[in-house]
Amino acid sequence: MKRAAKILLLVEDSPGDVRLTREAFRSAKGVTQLHVASDGVEAMAFLRREGQNRDAPRPDLILLDLNMPKMDGRQVLSLIKADNDLKTIPTVILTTSEAEADVARSYELQANCYLCKPVELDAFESLVNSIYDYWFVKTRLPYREQV
């Protein structure tokens, strides 16, 4: 079931959270190739392979923060799910917001899942392990054509 390294796009503006996520994925059981976009505009350029992102790979999974500069996560999510090609990439919201309105709105926009970032470091690592195990080991993802 495990093939090549899984490709993950993390859309996150906080450098601290990026670092913690990177470290947590590194200590997860398998190999993840992590790409980071620090705002929504950069995320869309990566996904659409625009500008400097001409050789960007198609991610197997997107972890998307909601509150970001330039273009926020809700907007990125609607653009992804309105695009016939991109909509099949599972997009998981990973945010500090616990607001019911954000949760409901995200599922309305067809986020594949909504996760709250725990503040405790151990809980955060355990969440990353769950994401890895659930999405990269248990779940069948759409076949990714080699770039």
Partner 1 sequence: MTFIGGDGMAIQVLLVEDSPGDVRLTKEAFREANGSIVLHVASDGVEAMAFLRQEGAHAKAPRPDLILLDLNLPKMDGREVLAHIKDDQSLKTIPTVILTTSEAEGDILKSYQLQANCYLSKPVQLASFDALVKSINDFWLIKAKLPQQKENS
* Cα 20 from Cα 26, distance rounded (Å): 10
Main-chain phi, psi angles of 12, to 5 degrees: -160, 130
- The residue range among 28-36, 38-46, 63-71, 108-116 that interacts with partner 1, by the rule CB under 8 A, is 108-116
Q: Is 136 in the site for partner 1 (CB under 8 A)?
A: no
Whether 6 and 57 have beta carbons less than 8 Å apart is answered as no
Q: Among the candidate windows 2-10, 13-21, 38-46, 112-120, which touches partner 1 by CB under 8 A?
A: 112-120
Residue 5 CA to residue 102 CA, distance in Å, equals 32
Residue 86 within binding range of partner 1, rule CB under 8 A: no
Please select the residue that binds partner 1; options are 55, 120, 143, 146, rule is CB under 8 A: 143
Using the rule CB under 8 A, is 96 a contact of partner 1?
Answer: no
Cα separation of 135 and 28, whole Å? 12
- Exposed, middle or buried, 42 (CB in 10 Å: 0-12/13-18/19+)? buried
State yes or no: residue 104 binds partner 1 (CB under 8 A): yes
20 binds partner 1 per the rule CB under 8 A: no
Binding residues vs partner 1 (CB under 8 A)? 81, 84, 87-88, 90, 98, 100, 103-104, 107-108, 110, 112-116, 127, 130, 133-135, 138-143
